[in-house]
């Protein structure tokens, strides 16, 4: 079973940056489209960005131009570079497959943006 471990969150001021990482165990990582999701306080979990096995990317409108998703298949890692952060970006961030069936969800990493 694939395990996902997210890290890199923290507390930043509006306009700041964070770089999130997600390490996935298991050699099948490289064949899967991977995604970052986030769940804000009292909200549902939403898709933020995804990247295909070939490296093609897509973003939610709310983060387009500010966030960049990337991956290293050699390191079984997917990244999310978050720039120009806004208080509305405050959430727990998770990575997982883009498509179901999802892997077991990791613990996520908390990103808090102060105004």
Taking the C-alpha atoms of 9, 78, 106 and 96 in order, what is their torsion angle to the nearest 10 degrees? 130
The span from the CA of 54 to the CA of 44, in Å, is 29
The 10s digit of each residue's pLDDT in 66-78 is: 999 999 999 999 9
- Averaged pLDDT for residues 34-53: 96
40 token code pair = 């804000």
| 28 has pLDDT over 90 | no
**pLDDT value for 107:** 97
> What percentage of the chain carries pLDDT values higher than 90?
90
- Averaged pLDDT for residues 19-47: 92
**pLDDT value for 31:** 87
The span from the CA of 12 to the CA of 34, in Å, is 26
**pLDDT value for 27:** 65
**pLDDT value for 1:** 81
| 44 has pLDDT over 90 | yes
């Amino acid at each position: 079973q694939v395990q996902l471990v997210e890290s890199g969150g923290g507390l930043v001021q509006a306009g700041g940056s964070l770089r999130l990482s997600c390490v996935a165990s298991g050699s099948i990582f490289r064949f899967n489209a991977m995604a970052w999701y986030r769940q804000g306080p009292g909200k549902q979990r939403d898709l933020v960005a995804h990247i295909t096995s070939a490296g093609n990317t897509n973003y939610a409108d709310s983060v387009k131009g500010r966030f960049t998703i990337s991956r290293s298949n050699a390191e079984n890692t997917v990244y999310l570079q978050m720039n120009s952060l806004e208080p509305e970006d405050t959430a727990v961030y998770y990575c997982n497959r883009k498509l179901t069936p999802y892997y077991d969800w990791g613990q996520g990493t908390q990103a808090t943006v102060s105004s």
